[in-house]
Chains A and B, each alone.
Chain A
Amino acid sequence: MFLALRDLTFAKGRFLLMAAVIVMVALMMVLLTGLSSGLVDRNISGIRALPTTHLAFEYDDKPTWSNSMVERAMWEGWADQPGVMASTQLGNTMFNARTSKGEPVTLALWGMEPGSFIDPGADIGQPIGDDPYGVVVSRMLVAENNVEVGDTIVLDRVLTELKVVGLLDAHNNIAHTPIVYAPFRLWAEASYGPPGGPPEGESLPDILYDFATVVALQLGETTEIAAIDEQLFTVALDKPMSFVASTGYKAERDSVRINQGFLLVIATLIIGAFFSIWTIQRTQEIGLIKALGASTGYLVRDALAQVSLLLAVAVTCGVGIGYALGDLIVDGTDIPYVIDIDAMLISGALVFGGGLVGAFLAVRRIARIDPIIALGQLR
C-alpha cells in the first residue's frame, strides 16, 4: 500500500473523478434495483402480503393465477391433512369496473371467508363480513382513483354493485392491478353468477360456491406436500414460486437482472479501462521500480490494494447515498420502490467484484513491463 496510498494522494484529481464514476455506478445499481424491485413488487404485493406459507393451485405443469380453479373438495381436503395449520379458499377474478365518481378502473376481486386467516381487515373503516356487498379496497384505488369509504364500485358486465366499507394503507396488487377484498359468496356470485345477481326472491344454486382460484395454506415443516398434492390433484407452491404464477412476474424479474448484469459489465469495463490507462501512464515508473528490484507480485499487489481501497470507499458512498435516496422516495412519494438491504449489499459487492476483475485484467500488464526501460539508451 506504500505506493498505492501516495499515488492516491498525488493524483487525487484523477482518482476523485474515477471514484465519482464508481459512486454513480453503485448508486445507479442501488436505485435501479430499488425502483425495478418496486415495480416488480407491485405485481405480487398482494400475494406477498398473504400470511401463507404455500398456495395450492389446480394441478398443472405451469400453474397460473389466471388459469387455476380449485374445488371445495380440494380446500376441505387440505384442511384435513396432518401438518396443515390453516387452510382456506381464495378466489381471484379480474374485472373492469366504474367508481361512483364515474372513473373506469381495473381491479382484482379477491373472495375470501370474512375473518379467515387471510382476511386483511381494514386500516380505515370496517373489514368485510357485516355487509354482504361490503368490500375493502387497497391503496392504489385510494391514491389514484380517490375511492373513499361509502363509495360504490360497479363491475362491468355482471353489474354487481360493491360497497366500499374499508380501506387498506398497503399497495396490495396482483399483476399490477389493485386488489378489492370481498366476502367469498359475493366473489363467487360476481364471478360465476348471472349478470345483475339472482332474480329477486331467488337464490343461486349451491354449486356456485364450490369453486375458487387457490387454496391458501399455512403448512408445518413436516407436511408431506407432494403426497397431498397427488391425492387432491393440486400443486402447492411456496411463496416465491407462487409469485412466478402471476402474469408477467418472471419477465419483469428477469429484466431487472438483465439491467443489473449490464451495469455490472459497464462497471467492470470502466474500471478496467481506467486502470489500463493508468498502468500505461505509469509504464516508465513501473519499469524503474522493477529495475530497482521490485517483483511483479509486489507491484500487482500494490496496484490491487489501490483499486480495492478506491472501490471500497466509492462503493460504500454509492450504496449509502442510494439508501438515503431510497428512504426519501419511500417516505415522501408514491413511486414504487423497495429498500432491500440484502439486495443493496449484493449490488455493492457486485460492483466491487466487477471493478476488481476489471482492474486485475488491466494490471496484468505490469508483468509484461521490462525493467530495461529504466536505462535511457536502451529504452
Chain B
Amino acid sequence: MTLEVDSVSLVLGDGDQQVTALDKVSLVVGAGTLCAVMGPSGAGKSSLLAVCGGLLPPTSGRIKIEGKDMTALKEDERARLRRERVGFIFQQSNLVAALTAMDQLLLMSHINGRKPDRSARERAGQLLEEVGLKHRAGHRPHQMSGGERQRVGIARALMNDPSVLLVDEPTSMLDHGRGREVVGLLAKQTEEYGVATLMVTHDQAMLPWADQVAEIEDGFLGSPHRPDIDGGPPDDS
C-alpha cells in the first residue's frame, strides 16, 4: 500500500486552547486509487493533509509512504521525502507568480537539486499536454484562468513522479463545470500514473470520480466506502 495512516492523532494549541484536530485516524490508500475525504469546514480535512505530507508531525500514530515511516524522520528528511515521493495540489492561488506554466514544472527539478535536462523538459511538456495546456506553457499564472491554474498545479504535482498525491479542495475556487473538469483529470492521472491520491473536499458533486470516500467530522474519520452514487462518473469526464 502506498499511503498508510495508522491511528494518527493531532492535538493543536496549548492549555485551554487545545483542539483535537485528528482523533486516531486510520486510512489506507493504494496505488491508482483516488480517495476523497469529505467534511465540513473545521472537520480536520486540511490537518489530515498536513500530517500526511509531513507539514505537521502528528501527536501520535504513524504515517507511512511506500512503507517508509514518515513520522520517524527529521524535518529536513521529511522535506526530502515530500519533494521526492509526494505531490501536493493546493487551492487555486498556489502557483509561483513569476514562473510560466513550464517553469512551474521545472521548479520541481530545481528543488530536487537537478538542473532540468532535456528529459525533464520533455516530461514537463508531456504533462502540460496531458492537462491540455501545452499552448499555455509560456504563460504566467495571472494570464491563466482558475481552471487552467489548477491544471498546471496537477501537472506540477506529477512532475517528480510521486507515489502519493495530496489534494486540497481542488474545486473550491472553480465554478461547477471547471471543477468537474479538474477532478476528472485528477482521476485520470491517478489511474494512469498509479499514484495513491488523497483528496479533501466538501464538494459532493466530485464524488463520482472517487474510488473510495470517507467522511470526517470533529477529527473522527469514518470507514472508507465506495461512493454512494448511481452510474459512476459522468460521460463528459
Chain A residue nearest to B82 in the complex (CB): A293
B140 within 8 A of A: yes
Chain A residue nearest to B42 in the complex (CB): A377
Chain A interface residue count, CB cutoff 8 Å, equals: 25
Chain B interface residue count, CB cutoff 8 Å, equals: 38
CB contacts (< 8 Å) of B113 on chain A: these are 298
The segment out of A25-33, A202-210, A332-340, A368-376 that lies at the interface is A368-376
Scoring A7, A11, A291, A370 by chain B CB atoms within 10 A of each residue's CB, the highest score goes to A291
* C-alpha spacing A292/B158, complex, angstroms: 11
* C-alpha spacing A292/B110, complex, angstroms: 11
SS of A interface (majority): helix
B174 within 8 A of A: no
* C-alpha spacing A372/B49, complex, angstroms: 10
**Number of A-B residue pairs having CB atoms within 8 Å of each other in the complex:** 85
CB contacts (< 8 Å) of B56 on chain A: these are 372
Option from B47, B96, B103 in Cβ contact (under 8 Å) with A289: B96
Q: Is the CB of B50 within 8 A of A378?
A: yes
CB contacts (< 8 Å) of A371 on chain B: these are 55
Q: Is the CB of B110 within 8 A of A288?
A: no
Q: Is the CB of B83 within 8 A of A376?
A: no
Within 8 A of A (CB), among B137-178: 140, 156, 168-169, 172
Option from A10, A11, A290, A376 in Cβ contact (under 8 Å) with B168: A376
B90 within 8 A of A: yes
B99 within 8 A of A: yes
Q: Is the CB of B98 within 8 A of A10?
A: yes
User: How many Å from the CB of B168 to the closest CB on chain A?
Assistant: 6
Mask of B61-87 contacts with A, CB within 8 angstroms, 1/0: 000000000000000100110111010
Q: Is the CB of B46 within 8 A of A285?
A: no
Q: Is the CB of B47 within 8 A of A378?
A: yes
User: How many Å from the CB of B47 to the closest CB on chain A?
Assistant: 7
Within 8 A of A (CB), among B80-111: 80, 82-84, 86, 88, 90-91, 94, 96-99, 103, 106-108, 110-111
* C-alpha spacing A294/B55, complex, angstroms: 12
Q: Is the CB of B103 within 8 A of A6?
A: yes
Option from A7, A285, A293, A298 in Cβ contact (under 8 Å) with B86: A293
- Known A295-B76, A372-B56: A377·B90 in contact at CB below 8 Å: no
CB contacts (< 8 Å) of A298 on chain B: these are 110-111, 113
CB contacts (< 8 Å) of A288 on chain B: these are 90, 94, 96
Q: Is the CB of B84 within 8 A of A293?
A: yes
CB contacts (< 8 Å) of A289 on chain B: these are 96, 107, 111
A-B contacts, 13 of them at CB < 8 A, read A2-B110, A6-B103, A288-B94, A289-B96, A291-B82, A292-B107, A292-B108, A294-B79, A298-B111, A370-B55, A374-B88, A374-B90, A375-B168
Interface residues of B (CB under 8 A from A): 41-42, 45-47, 49-50, 53, 55-56, 76, 79-80, 82-84, 86, 88, 90-91, 94, 96-99, 103, 106-108, 110-113, 140, 156, 168-169, 172
